Structure 1
Amino acid sequence: MGILDFLYSDLAIDLGTANTVIISKGKIVVDEPSIIAIDKNTNKVVAIGREAMQMHEKTHENIKTIKPLKDGVIANYQAAELMIRGMIKMVNNNKWKLFNPLFHRMVICIPSGITDVEKRAVKDSAEHTGAKEVYMIYEPIAAAIGIGINIEEPMGSMIVDIGGGTTEIAVISLAGIIGNQSIRVAGDVFNTDILEYMRKQHNLLIGERTSEKIKIAVGAAQKDIDNPPDDFEVRGRDLMSGIPKVIKVNYEEIIPAIDKSISKIEEAILKALEESPPELSADIYENGIYLTGGGALLRGLDKRLSKKTKLAVHIAENPLQAVVRGTGVALKNLNAYKSVLIT
């Protein structure tokens, strides 16, 4: 490996609402929560990623934690730029400290329902970190590439990517999106649903981090699931007495809490199926629906969607990394994927 390999590098970035994942030289080098902690007095970065997440909802008046992305798009430009810069530095932690690496090319995935203004914000943030060439790719297309679908074939494939901020539903054929639905109902909304349920049903006040832990530990989309999880201990503040307390919740309790949000995802999938041309509908009937993103890990969701659509539903292998893997493939083969890249 020559000196240029230390000085120049290309990056594939999945800039997600919940997590940011970066690929460099074909390997995942950063996988961190999309959050930053800033000192209010000096405006300097205190922590980024996992370290900042540990501070979230536990800070004093001089430190604030910011999640720069909301509903899949940049909500706080300055914080997003600082976060991207900090995560890029993480890529080079083990390299020669004498050099500040230059990133010639970046491919960043974006939601399919994004506006032109929101696209510009993503591109500007990337360029301000030093990238010479910035390309963007829609998340469903990146997910399809990441799970090994040949997107250039005249064969319809339906991708349902349930992330932190958005659920992206797209029918892909001939390297393009034929019909898509992008709804702002995903993992973060499930967390809010659980938080509200705990407050109303148990008079227990919990934070975002705890509601996410509940979702991961005992979250389920229906009762009929394989290997039901053990009950989960939840710690929070009793709204009546104001004293901390502990209760146990089981997976059957969480089903009604997130039921309405899952129904919205079902409706969006049915709408995308309705809008598909008949020949592509035949392909989808044959191939089924592919689930990617963190939401794909929700217990019983594949079975529930299969019942609703009467179609086979496949959970991608390692669904959390499908989008960034596809973004990495597009970065490696820029010329081959030029038609699906946005500049």
Structure 2
Amino acid sequence: MAGTDIGIDLGTTSVLVYVRGRGVVLKEPSVAALDRSDDRIRAIGEDARMLLSRSPGTLKEIHPLENGIIADYMVTEQMLRYFIQKAVGRLSFRKPKICICIPADLTEVERHAVEDAGYQAGARDVAMVEEPIAAAIGAGIDFSKPSGNMVVDIGGGTTNAAILSVNGIVVSMGLKVGGNDFDAALMRYIRSQFGVTVGQQAAEEIKMQVGTVYERPEERLMEFIGRDIETGLPKTVRISSQDCRMAFRELTGRIVEVVHSVLEKTPPELAEDVAQRGIVLTGGGSLIDGLEDLLEARTGVNVVTCDDPLCAVAIGTGRAGELLDL
């Protein structure tokens, strides 16, 4: 399927669309707003997010993808159709060839569901590429030769660590931990330690401003306003990067464990290559401060984040059709 027109990264939290010759043209939330009265879709993506924030009582929030698996086929199909049309235009003279990124551990039934959704959404041809391969291509890693390369992709809902060689996956392990889980962990920590509640968007802002997973010489502080769980009134709280590190400890431990497990299962010759070449991080979750340093300290291997971690999987999905002749 050389010459893929569109590459689609169907993430738990976001959908990114890559168009050949144009790059990533679309990044929107993977959410739909359904009318509670008749279950009809009223909006998709960014429009749905805005509508849900203004009319929460009459609408139902639907996330059709859970950890890369289709949880709601009907909504996924309509979401794909919407994003394809938005990316290439409703008046396109031909149906596009598309490539969809999927988790490496999907069953045949789950793969067929993704493929079928692509065809039902209006594609002429549908190819699929496994997430570690898409991430590696998007990060600019050449894994066509018989040498070991390691990529760790941390998305909104999942983490995948893999060893690649000769255009394929040698070892791969997935984990249902992603950027959203760090937000949720921070929300729980703030409630238990400070007695206030905050929303997901506030938690994400705190994570990006002062959050870290590795001890720094200087602690960063941030003030935010939460809702006191006893009085229900607004309350100003000061949180430190050390607080965030404590909140994230269990999650980062699980990510480190998966990386260790993949390295332990890697053939010695390829593991030696990884020790020399290092580990490459992709995905929005890789932007959490200190993750490179933490993984380096725990593995003894150099760790770098790719140039465009947010778009790497989408870029790799779009280019996979040409590079791998899918």
Provide TM-score, normalisation by structure 2: 0.92
Unaligned runs of 5+ in 2: none
Unaligned runs of 5+ in 1: 1-8
The answer to whether the aligner puts 1:136 opposite 2:131 as a matched pair is no
1:192 pairs with one of 184, 190, 204: 184
One-letter code of the match for 1:176?
Answer: G
Greater Cα shift, 318-327 or 235-244: 235-244
Asked whether the 8 Å contact 2:52–2:59 carries over to 1, the reply is: no
User: Equivalent residues in 2 for 1:250-261 (5 A)?
Assistant: 250-261=240-251
User: Equivalent residues in 2 for 1:307-318 (5 A)?
Assistant: 307-318=297-308
- Percent identical among aligned pairs is 37
SS at match of 2:311: helix
Distance 2:27 2:33 in 1: 17
Asked whether the 8 Å contact 2:5–2:318 carries over to 1, the reply is: no
Per-residue CA deviations over 1:169-193 (Å, capped at 9, x if unaligned) read: 0000011111111111111211211
One-letter code of the match for 2:188?
Answer: E
User: Equivalent residues in 2 for 1:1-343 (5 A)?
Assistant: 10-26=5-21, 27-56=23-52, 59-92=55-88, 99=91, 102-224=94-216, 231-331=221-321, 333=322, 336-338=323-325, 341=326
Distance 1:75 1:319 in 2: 26
* Residues paired across the two proteins, number: 323
SS at match of 2:76: helix
Distance 1:318 1:268 in 2: 23
- 1:18 Cα deviation after fit: 1.5
Q: Find the counterpart in structure 2 of residue 3 from structure 1.
A: none
The verdict on how the C-alpha distance between 1:82 and 1:200 changes in structure 2, with shifts beyond 3 A counting, is same
The verdict on how the C-alpha distance between 1:146 and 1:21 changes in structure 2, with shifts beyond 3 A counting, is same
- 1:151 Cα deviation after fit: 1.9
- 1:207 Cα deviation after fit: 2.5
SS at match of 1:320: coil
Distance 1:101 1:202 in 2: 58
Asked whether the 8 Å contact 1:72–1:164 carries over to 2, the reply is: no
- 1:55 Cα deviation after fit: 4.6
Cα-Cα RMSD: 2.1
Provide TM-score, normalisation by structure 1: 0.88
SS at match of 1:252: helix
Distance 2:104 2:138 in 1: 16
Distance 2:137 2:238 in 1: 41
